[in-house]
């Protein structure tokens, strides 16, 4: 196990991948103050800090990591996210923040400043999030969420034409009332191929629930409370490409 790292340890090093998961880090030091770490920061493409004890990341901690494409911070103790933290990551495409304690993300902050972000995992956080803000993720291809504290599924996730995989799963046990999937909730997601609403408390499937999802191949509805499926629950156009349900 490891609970501290001295930035000077990476002096004049070039490294593509750094795996530091399952340790006891409480924070990740800023390397920007050490000029001798520049080659390390410029070369690193993948950083795994999953399952540590990181509760905060100071602004500027990722300055100079211009080539970083993959950042894993799942299973830590993060409570909030600030815009400046991730503006220094212009190449970031994959970001996992699942299993933290993140409560709020504002639309003008992270992750909406990450223009190249393709994969985002925010599952298992007590998020109080405006679902409509997610429509700003203009290049996202895979989005993973848990059902949100303090809200239902009343704001549609729409018009993200790049989205191919959407996982909205209620593994946090937020089942005070069964969610109602509004009419046309997924309109504008014409390229979506995978939709998971696992463990969501759904009781009834209606035809309009999946309107517009005509590229859908995988529909995951396990661990729900579905008791009614009608002859029109799944539109014929939906079934055209569906191969797994």
pLDDT in the model for residue 108: 61
High-pLDDT (> 70) share of the chain, %:
78
89: closest CA among 134, 51, 50, 120? 120
Whether the predicted pLDDT of 176 surpasses 70? no
Pairing of strands 165-169, 142-146: parallel
Q: Residue 233 and residue 210: Cα distance in Å, rounded?
A: 9
Task: Output the furthest CA–CA distance in the chain (Å, rounded).
Answer: 67
Which helix (DSSP H) or strand (DSSP E) does residue 237 occupy?
helix 236-241
Give the chain's length: 245
Mean pLDDT of 177-181: 59
Task: Single out the residue of 134, 235, 129 nearest to residue 188, CA to CA.
Answer: 134
Say if residue 173's pLDDT is above 50.
no
Pairing of strands 218-220, 194-196: parallel
pLDDT in tens, 51-87: 999 887 777 788 889 999 999 999 999 987 766 667 7
E strands of the chain, at which residues? 17-19, 46-48, 70-72, 94-96, 119-121, 142-146, 165-169, 194-196, 204-205, 218-220, 228-229
Confidence of residue 2 (pLDDT cuts 50, 70, 90): low
Alpha-carbon distance values, 49 to 15, 35, 45, 129, 197 (Å): 15, 23, 13, 25, 28
- What's the pLDDT at 163? 92
* Cα dist from 212 to 155, 184, 191, 193, 204, whole Å: 16, 8, 10, 12, 19
Mean pLDDT of 108-116: 68
pTM listed for this prediction = 0.87
């Amino acid at each position: 196990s490891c609970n501290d790292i001295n930035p000077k340890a990476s002096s004049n090093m070039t490294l593509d991948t750094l795996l530091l998961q399952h340790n006891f880090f409480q924070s990740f030091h800023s390397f920007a103050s050490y000029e001798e770490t520049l080659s390390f920061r410029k070369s690193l493409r993948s950083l795994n800090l999953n399952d540590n004890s990181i509760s905060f990341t100071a602004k500027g901690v990722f300055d100079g990591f211009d080539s970083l494409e993959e950042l894993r911070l799942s299973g830590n103790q993060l409570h909030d996210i600030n815009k400046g933290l991730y503006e220094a990551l212009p190449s970031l495409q994959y970001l996992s923040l699942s299993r933290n304690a993140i409560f709020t993300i504002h639309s003008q902050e992270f992750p909406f400043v990450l223009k190249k972000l393709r994969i985002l995992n925010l599952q298992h956080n007590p998020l109080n999030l405006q679902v409509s803000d997610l429509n700003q993720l203009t290049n996202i291809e895979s989005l993973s969420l848990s059902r949100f504290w303090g809200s239902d599924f009343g704001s549609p996730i729409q018009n993200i034409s790049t989205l191919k995989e959407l996982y909205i799963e209620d593994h946090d046990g937020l089942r005070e009332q069964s969610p109602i999937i509004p009419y046309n909730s997924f309109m504008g997601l014409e390229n979506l191929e995978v939709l998971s609403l696992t463990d969501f408390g759904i009781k009834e499937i209606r035809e309009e629930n999946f309107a517009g999802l005509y590229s859908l191949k995988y529909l995951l509805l396990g661990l729900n409370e579905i008791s009614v499926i009608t002859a029109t629950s799944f539109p014929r156009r939906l079934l055209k490409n569906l191969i797994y349900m």
